[in-house]
């Protein structure tokens, strides 16, 4: 029961890093694997800021045998002199005080991804221990921190060993080693691939900077040394993303410039595919939701290419300009800007809000492309882009008719949804779920087993079209795709509006076999290409039906993977036992499907996320595109044929 009084003594003051410890999600988003890896990004970002300001050209990340991580750079080294107000060393201030750093006044760092001065101190607060070694002024210094109990309370980030000179130094830089606290995180095991992909991306974005990854953990198959360094920078990045695609011109177009204090670099290359792929970064931070810099780029690109098309006579006075989406069909672009005083929309740093970025990027784009094509006239590169855009324009006119059909709610519902969609009775979309179910048989079980108050069922009677291989007008001719669009109510592509979304969770439910995996891949590809915001906002999920049911003497248990099977058999009492392998959802009766896969109290859902948009783009291209050899090579390199993963 709540107290009747509420006065000054009830106000809790969290000192130092205690606030981080109490609410880690406020600082790193989550205490799951994503939050764990965020600790590395915070320290690496500090080193990258040194590199971005030309003080550092080598960064080494080491996964140590004991589970800790070391990040080393050859930058200037954190200052070690005494802070004039706090009367302790600057390095101690950086690691123990929130909102303390050298990035607030733009004097020490012209451009910085870490703006709030919380990165290093948050890492210290969420670690069992943290050691910092600084090389500066010909000397080597060390300070050690630890989390310990003081008077029965956990105190994090406490100084264990004050800053001490430990030797001479012939170089400058900082070495940070930290051990994540298992009492904070769900797991403290770092994933090699996650780290490798992010470090590679940072190497692309910071031309000429070498970023190394060392895995010294015992038993790791990938244990060893990797080095990423790209002297081509963004051009190399675009080439990497477009591996496996048919490019319209061999060498990506690169242009850069400084405009009103904003440093801008862009690389573009067109392919014969139909989707546009624009990746943007601000001070090395991915802006997956775009923002003002992307708007400026797109506006500049459209203006220049239309002007050139009129100059060479392709567009006559009577002709309308081509649309921006026509010029961006098949385009891969990477935009990297560095600026001061970044303003992100929302807490997730995924959309740039600075209005001054739009005209700056637009000006650099116009000047860069005008110079590029001016030096080459209207040569083969421009001709290939223009031909592609004209074809896209014709397809756009055809797709407009298809989109109009989708927008006509009554005719769509009468044509495609009657007999298919079993809607729910609840009208609060936040509570509602849509299951996209493979096959009529499974759809029938799902309709009977569901809770009709908040669960809707949409059975697929055929395989949806692979959106990676078709233009939008062809995609919209596919009946299964049209039913999905109509059921969700949001529109697609440029017309997408999540305010009209009818279901908070969209759940793909397919068989646990090869055909089911293919259907999942096709649907995810469609959502990635034409409803990406649905994924970014966390609305897309994959249902996980069981692989087996094992039973013995009235006891039964459902098993969701081969790895779980031995323990499940042991739990029900071992041999002899009965086992059923579910090859399809249709083999389960409505009650079983509800219990194992649809009941929120028992089910397991996997949320589809895009942590690395460039890697996702590359993966979609390999797995769902036309390049068969690239797909075979990927399977050869990554599949483990010694395991039965079903």
DSSP sequence for 4-34: S---GGG-----TTHHHHH-THHHHS-SSHH
Taking the CA of residue 423 as centre, how many other CA atoms within 13 Å lie in the half-sphere pointing to its CB?
16
pLDDT at 623: 79
pLDDT at 108: 54
Model confidence pTM above 0.85: no
Q: Which of 38-42, 440-444, 529-533, 535-539 has the lowest mean pLDDT?
A: 440-444
CA 435 to chain centre: 24
> Among residues 256, 272, 451, 513, which one is catalytic?
513
Listed by start position, the domains of the chain span: 18-189, 234-390, 408-545+606-610
> Among residues 511, 557, 615, 617, which one is catalytic?
511
More confident residue, 424 or 626: 424
CA 8 to chain centre: 44
Q: What's the per-residue H, E or C state across 446-497?
A: HHHHCCCCCEEEEEECCCCCCHHHCCHHHHCCCHHHHHHHHHHCCCCHHHCC
Strands 433-438 and 505-509, sheet pairing: parallel
Mean pLDDT of 462-490: 84
Q: How far apart are CA 610 and CA 600, in angstroms?
A: 24
Torsion angles phi and psi, residue 203, rounded to 5 = -65, -40
Q: How far apart are CA 110 and CA 106, in angstroms?
A: 5
Q: How far apart are CA 573 and CA 347, in angstroms?
A: 50
Decide: helix, strand or coil at residue 315. coil
Q: Which of 172-181, 305-314, 435-444, 472-481 has the lowest mean pLDDT?
A: 472-481
Strands 540-543 and 505-509, sheet pairing: parallel
CA 78 to chain centre: 31
pLDDT digits (tens, 9 = 90+) for 349-391: 678 999 999 999 999 999 999 999 986 544 889 999 999 999 8
> Among residues 45, 433, 438, 617, which one is catalytic?
438
Tokens linked to 19: 């606030």
More confident residue, 628 or 227: 227
CA 309 to chain centre: 36
Q: What band does 256 get if pLDDT is binned at 50, 70 and 90?
A: very high
pLDDT at 594: 94
- Whether residue 104 is predicted with pLDDT greater than 60 in this model: the reply is no
Q: Which of 200-209, 325-334, 529-538, 626-635 has the lowest mean pLDDT?
A: 626-635
Mean pLDDT of 128-146: 95
Q: How far apart are CA 505 and CA 598, in angstroms?
A: 12
Mean pLDDT of 596-607: 92
Q: Is position 317 annotated as part of the catalytic site?
A: no
Tokens linked to 58: 């080598």
Q: How far apart are CA 588 and CA 511, in angstroms?
A: 11
- Whether residue 115 is predicted with pLDDT greater than 70 in this model: the reply is no
Q: How far apart are CA 469 and CA 279, in angstroms?
A: 21
Q: What band does 100 get if pLDDT is binned at 50, 70 and 90?
A: low
Q: Which of 231-235, 248-252, 459-463 has the lowest mean pLDDT?
A: 459-463
Residues 126/28, Cβ–Cβ less than 8 Å: yes
- As beta bridge partners, residue 455 has 433
pLDDT at 415: 45
Residues 159/145, Cβ–Cβ less than 8 Å: yes
Polymer length of the chain: 646
pLDDT at 29: 80
pLDDT at 405: 58
Q: How far apart are CA 331 and CA 369, in angstroms?
A: 15
- Whether residue 165 is predicted with pLDDT greater than 60 in this model: the reply is yes
The b-or-e profile of 541-564 (16+ CB within 10 A means b, else e) is bbbbbbbbbbebeeeebbbbeeee
Mean pLDDT of 127-132: 96
- Whether residue 566 is predicted with pLDDT greater than 50 in this model: the reply is yes
Q: Is position 215 annotated as part of the catalytic site?
A: no
pLDDT at 621: 80
Q: How far apart are CA 455 and CA 426, in angstroms?
A: 9
> Among residues 57, 345, 479, 515, which one is catalytic?
515
What percentage of the chain reaches a pLDDT higher than 70?
Answer: 87
Residues 604/544, Cβ–Cβ less than 8 Å: yes
The arrangement of strands across the sheet holding 455-460 comes to 455-460, 433-438, 505-509, 540-543, 605-607
- Whether residue 1 is predicted with pLDDT greater than 50 in this model: the reply is no
pLDDT at 160: 94
The closest alpha carbon to 333, from 291, 376, 297, belongs to 297
The closest alpha carbon to 309, from 247, 354, 373, 252, belongs to 373
Q: How far apart are CA 586 and CA 439, in angstroms?
A: 8
Strands 455-460 and 285-286, sheet pairing: unpaired
pLDDT at 336: 96
Provide the CATH topology of domain 408-545+606-610. Answer: Rossmann fold (3.40.50)
Taking the CA of residue 213 as centre, how many other CA atoms within 13 Å lie in the half-sphere pointing to its CB?
23
Q: What band does 579 get if pLDDT is binned at 50, 70 and 90?
A: very high
The closest alpha carbon to 405, from 466, 476, 488, belongs to 476
Residues 442/426, Cβ–Cβ less than 8 Å: no
- Whether residue 8 is predicted with pLDDT greater than 90 in this model: the reply is no
The closest alpha carbon to 68, from 164, 165, 144, belongs to 144
More confident residue, 176 or 120: 176
Residues 449/380, Cβ–Cβ less than 8 Å: no
Q: Is position 511 annotated as part of the catalytic site?
A: yes
The closest alpha carbon to 111, from 266, 341, 363, belongs to 341
Q: What is the DSSP string of 542-570?
A: EE---SEEEEETTEEEEE-SGGGHHHHHH
Residues 432/456, Cβ–Cβ less than 8 Å: yes
Highest-scoring range by mean pLDDT, 111-120, 367-376, 571-580: 571-580
Q: What band does 113 get if pLDDT is binned at 50, 70 and 90?
A: low
Decide: helix, strand or coil at residue 203. helix
Q: What band does 11 get if pLDDT is binned at 50, 70 and 90?
A: very low
Q: Considering the chain, what is the average pLDDT of its residues?
A: 85
pLDDT at 313: 86
Q: How far apart are CA 471 and CA 467, in angstroms?
A: 7
Cα dihedral 506→32→194→618 (10° resolution): 10
pLDDT at 37: 93
Q: Is position 438 annotated as part of the catalytic site?
A: yes
pLDDT at 13: 39
pLDDT at 233: 95
Residues 491/472, Cβ–Cβ less than 8 Å: no
Q: Pinpoint the alpha helices (H) of 338-439.
A: 357-376, 380-407, 409-412
Residues 44/61, Cβ–Cβ less than 8 Å: yes
The CATH class of the 18-189 domain is: alpha beta
Q: What band does 90 get if pLDDT is binned at 50, 70 and 90?
A: confident
Q: Could you tell me the sign of the dihedral formed by the alpha carbons of 578, 582, 583, 589, in that order?
A: positive
Other beta carbons within 10 angstroms of residue 414's beta carbon come to 10
Q: What band does 47 get if pLDDT is binned at 50, 70 and 90?
A: very high
What percentage of the chain reaches a pLDDT higher than 90?
Answer: 50
- Whether residue 325 is predicted with pLDDT greater than 60 in this model: the reply is yes
Q: Per CATH, the architecture of 234-390 is what?
A: 2-Layer Sandwich (3.30)
Mean pLDDT of 401-415: 51
Q: How far apart are CA 174 and CA 337, in angstroms?
A: 26
Q: Which of 102-116, 175-189, 246-260, 578-592 has the lowest mean pLDDT?
A: 102-116
């Amino acid at each position: 029961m709540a107290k009747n009084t509420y006065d000054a003594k009830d106000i809790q003051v969290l000192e130092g890093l205690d606030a981080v410890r109490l609410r880690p999600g406020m600082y790193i988003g989550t205490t799951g694997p994503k939050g764990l890896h965020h600790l590395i990004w915070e320290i690496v970002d500090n080193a990258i800021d040194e590199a971005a300001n030309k003080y550092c050209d080598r960064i080494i990340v080491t996964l140590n045998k004991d589970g800790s991580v070391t990040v080393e750079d050859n930058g200037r080294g954190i200052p070690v002199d005494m802070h004039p107000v706090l009367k302790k060393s600057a390095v101690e201030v950086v690691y123990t005080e929130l909102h303390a750093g050298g990035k607030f006044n733009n004097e020490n760092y012209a451009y910085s991804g870490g703006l709030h001065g919380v990165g290093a101190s948050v890492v210290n607060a969420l670690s069992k221990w943290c050691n910092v070694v600084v090389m500066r002024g010909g000397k080597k210094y060390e300070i050690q921190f630890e989390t310990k109990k003081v008077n029965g309370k956990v105190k994090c980030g406490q100084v264990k060993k004050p800053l001490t000179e430990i030797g001479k130094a012939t170089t400058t830089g900082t070495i940070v080693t930290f051990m994540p606290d298992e009492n904070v995180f769900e797991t403290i095991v770092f994933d090699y691939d996650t780290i490798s992909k992010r470090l590679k991306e940072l190497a692309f974005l910071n031309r000429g900077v070498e970023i190394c990854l060392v895995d010294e953990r015992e038993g790791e198959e990938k244990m060893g040394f990797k080095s990423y360094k790209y002297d081509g920078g963004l051009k190399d990045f675009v080439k990497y993303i477009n591996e496996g695609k048919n490019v319209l011109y061999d060498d990506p177009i690169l242009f850069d410039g400084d405009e009103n204090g904003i440093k801008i670099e862009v690389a573009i290359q067109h392919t014969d595919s139909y989707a546009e792929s624009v990746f943007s970064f601000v001070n090395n931070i991915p802006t997956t939701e775009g923002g003002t810099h992307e708007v400026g780029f797109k506006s500049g690109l459209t203006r220049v290419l239309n002007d050139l098309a009129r100059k060479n006579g392709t567009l006559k006075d009577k002709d309308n300009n081509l649309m921006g989406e026509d010029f961006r069909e098949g385009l891969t672009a990477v935009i990297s800007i560095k600026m001061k005083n970044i303003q992100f929309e929302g807490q997730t740093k995924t959309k740039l809000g600075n209005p001054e970025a739009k005209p700056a990027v637009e000006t650099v784009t116009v000047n860069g492309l005008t110079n590029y094509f001016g030096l080459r006239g209207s040569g083969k590169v421009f001709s290939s882009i223009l031909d592609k855009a004209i074809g896209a324009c014709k397809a756009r006119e055809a797709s407009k008719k298809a989109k109009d059909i989708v927008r006509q709610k009554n005719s769509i519902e009468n044509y495609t949804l009657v007999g298919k969609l079993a809607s729910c009775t609840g009208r609060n979309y936040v509570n509602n779920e849509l299951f996209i179910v493979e096959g009529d048989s499974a759809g029938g079980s799902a309709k009977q087993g569901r809770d009709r108050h908040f669960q809707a069922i949409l059975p697929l009677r055929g395989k949806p079209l692979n959106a990676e291989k078709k233009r939008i007008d062809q995609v919209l001719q596919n009946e299964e795709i049209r039913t999905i669009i109509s059921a969700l109510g949001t529109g697609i592509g440029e017309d997408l509006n999540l305010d009209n979304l009818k279901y908070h969770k969209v759940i793909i439910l397919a068989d646990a076999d090869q055909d089911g995996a293919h259907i999942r891949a096709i649907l995810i590809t469609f959502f990635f290409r034409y409803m990406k915001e649905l994924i970014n906002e966390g609305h897309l999920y994959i249902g996980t039906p069981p692989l087996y049911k094992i039973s013995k003497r009235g006891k039964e248990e459902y098993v969701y993977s081969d790895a779980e099977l031995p323990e499940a058999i042991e739990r029900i009492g071992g041999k002899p036992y009965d086992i059923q392998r579910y090859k399809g959802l249709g083999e389960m009766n409505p009650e079983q499907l509800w219990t194992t896969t649809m009941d929120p109290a028992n089910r397991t859902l996997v949320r589809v996320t895009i942590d690395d948009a460039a890697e996702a783009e590359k993966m979609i291209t390999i797995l769902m595109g036309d390049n068969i050899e690239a797909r075979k090579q990927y399977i050869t390199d990554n599949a483990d044929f010694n395991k039965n993963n079903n």
